[in-house]
Structure 1
């Protein structure tokens, strides 16, 4: 060693805690020397295992054997000391470190491929109190498994408030689009109060499954019971029978086919034998039971409060027989609870309904929203086939009815907004008939701008949601400059006035699209890619091929024309999942 080198090493200092007498490998972090045991680095780290296993040059010591050949680490001495604390912890498996310490350990474990140390750091971080956004950013930065990220995403998707600008910037475009995509899928239409709470029909498993499917992660491999999820699963155990004292008053609880606890409604009672006989003749016992089960499986309070106003129109006339009245009442309730593509089209006036001719548009929109609300409280896998079937069959006639309607809010607009996430709508928006939707909705919004501010947050959210989807799909080239001049300041106002609600989120989207906000442009492009994914990306399992990457046109589903595949094999593999959403399109 030269005199200059000797003088340089004299300026270094040995770490007071981890310069061990029995150590056999040296590390240099900043100006501190560490001498520890090679065993931990060979056993735990794939990166160090390869580095320190290299044979030395002839006549020279092996790297790390001496202070002069210490392995130089581009980390702080404090950070490396924390990592060593994992191996030399005097309390063994007991740690009293905070989130900052474990974040530092996680960073080094990821960088140097300490697999088990990384898992330990994650387990300890799960015990720490960390804001959800910060935890997501941390886990994404160091490529933590999606099994830990799904419950965190679920918190953001389940909460009523949308992501604000600061949160979106922190999460980045990809995650923001994922959260937006999941929230949109879980909320097919604006929900009560404009704050977009998670519909009562969905539980944490539904949220987890939706996020996991978008990430391409199997829910069977993800652990959703971690403390980071922010919510505990309900313990659906069998309840015991209870007596209320009267004959036939037992309330039994059993698990339904989904594994959830459901209540069996007590036997129906009637005011007279005549009523019982009449209703029994009008509806088979099995159908009558199904009607009650449907009521109890839904949010009963929501259903009754929603239809009460509608059913007042069928109040029993003084001269009507009670049995006839009850039959009529049950039939009306059943027609509302039985949501289907045909029932929605009937209520919206798209197909003939001789029994209810003469409904006003206000009555139609009330009934449509009532059924959509009931549908929204069903499991997602039951909602999507109805949305897709409706879009496939009725988009052309629905659009014509929308063009013939007036005002910015009406039943055709509500239904168009509801199905706007489907590939049928995306494809229809490219047709000459559908191409006019963005310009028309923008004009109607501008014309009603002076009155929209006095609407509920829910209604403003619906208006902004539909317009933003159209602008993403069709752009702003066809929007009149005069309409832009009215809408831009209004959306700025609504973004402020409805802060923290869906109306603010959708106003922000419309504003970014109308002004071509450069900062929001990547997010808007991500939304467009998400909406158009079914038409441009192979629908086969885990296939990432697109028309551009494959160099040729993808195969189109001959039945629905709203899904594409790179080959017949992937089409066959995708069919079990695609089957429920595949309908012959009427355009």
Structure 2
């Protein structure tokens, strides 16, 4: 008995997304079994990938993808739920007030990096910097998305100076390299062993700028100066708990919003239960498309590993 055939993307019935099907918008996009209609301006403004996919001149003899619900631009690399989160960045009715969960910011960041939305990526970093994440979770997220390790100095310091060593589950989340570096920082920051062959349980002997310099050297962090410039070397910024947020506030300004009024992210229905279609249509060979496809192949290989 032969296995059932997976239906193509356009043969699976689609429904209009309740939050992001805007009737006066100008591009129709299908993600899984959901149809979105949004303004192409936001997609083309920053992303070379979308400028190429939505190029009207590339299809002189036919309607370009995205022109209608019968001819939508199909995005296979996203889920409906993640794409709704991503669109919320541009259509947030509260303008510069962004209220989302760490999981939602990760979905947005994932697509921003995939499609080359640098300003959206910086917005995600700023919002994650404001959140009260555990040191392990922050390190895990930032390293997963290959963000600037210099933003992790507080988290590295917290794990270095706490009494408890890194646990098994924490080590699995941090990865071998980071766990070994933290163990090295814990060892080097403590005094000589006074009774048992283990230095870690003893008190931390290195504090303040010296401790942060030690951590910076172990993790190969850039030196961050108070004037905003950076250079390779020990961390020399002032020691204070707001330092991490101060660095985040120096990033580029937030992405502009629009007064259009779809539902807020927290109100948008979840689309994670939808089955992703299998689109067999070929896309034009372009550098931006090749880059995105390369990222998709890397993710699939990573998942199989």
Q: Distance in 2 between matches of 1:37 and 1:69?
A: 13
Q: Distance in 2 between matches of 1:191 and 1:47?
A: 60
2:212 is the counterpart of 1:211: no
Stretch of structure 1 that moved more, 100-109 or 143-152: 100-109
Alignment-derived partner of residue 75 in structure 1: 78
Which of 169, 173, 177 is the equivalent residue of 1:170? 173
Q: Distance in 1 between matches of 2:143 and 2:193?
A: 30
Alignment-derived partner of residue 385 in structure 1: none
- Bigger Rg, structure 1 or 2: 1
What CA deviation, in whole Å up to 9, does each residue of 1:389-425 have, x standing for no partner?
A: xxxxxxxxxxxxxxxxxxxxxxxxxxxxxxxxxxxxx
The unaligned stretches of length 5 or more in structure 1 are 231-587
Q: Distance in 2 between matches of 1:143 and 1:191?
A: 40
Whose relative contact order is higher, 1 or 2, with alpha carbons under 8 Å and at least 6 apart? 2
Alignment-derived partner of residue 137 in structure 2: 134
| Residues 51-200 of structure 1 aligned to structure 2 (within 5 Å) | 51-53=53-55, 55-67=57-69, 68-187=71-190, 189-190=192-193, 195-199=201-205
Note the C-alpha offset of 1:25: 2.0
Q: Distance in 2 between matches of 1:118 and 1:125?
A: 11
Q: Distance in 2 between matches of 1:140 and 1:153?
A: 12
Secondary structure of the structure 1 residue equivalent to 2:110: helix
The unaligned stretches of length 5 or more in structure 2 are 1-6, 225-229, 246-305
Q: Distance in 1 between matches of 2:52 and 2:240?
A: 37
Which of 21, 24, 30 is the equivalent residue of 1:22? 24
Q: Distance in 1 between matches of 2:172 and 2:149?
A: 20
Q: Is the 8 A contact 1:156 1:179 kept in 2?
A: yes
Q: Distance in 2 between matches of 1:84 and 1:145?
A: 25
Q: Distance in 1 between matches of 2:88 and 2:65?
A: 23
Secondary structure of the structure 2 residue equivalent to 1:182: helix
Q: Is the 8 A contact 1:25 1:38 kept in 2?
A: yes
Q: Distance in 2 between matches of 1:211 and 1:94?
A: 34
Q: Is the 8 A contact 1:19 1:35 kept in 2?
A: yes
Instruction: Report the TM-score, using the length of structure 1 for normalisation.
Output: 0.35
What CA deviation, in whole Å up to 9, does each residue of 1:226-269 have, x standing for no partner?
A: 65969xxxxxxxxxxxxxxxxxxxxxxxxxxxxxxxxxxxxxxx
Note the C-alpha offset of 1:153: 1.1
1:196 and 1:166, CA in 2 relative to 1: closer, same or farther beyond 3 A?
A: farther
1:194 and 1:76, CA in 2 relative to 1: closer, same or farther beyond 3 A?
A: closer
2:204 is the counterpart of 1:202: no
Secondary structure of the structure 2 residue equivalent to 1:219: strand
Spell out structure 1 runs of 4+ moving beyond 4 A: 191-194, 222-230
| Residues 268-417 of structure 1 aligned to structure 2 (within 5 Å) | none
- More helix, by proportion: 1
1:216 and 1:51, CA in 2 relative to 1: closer, same or farther beyond 3 A?
A: farther
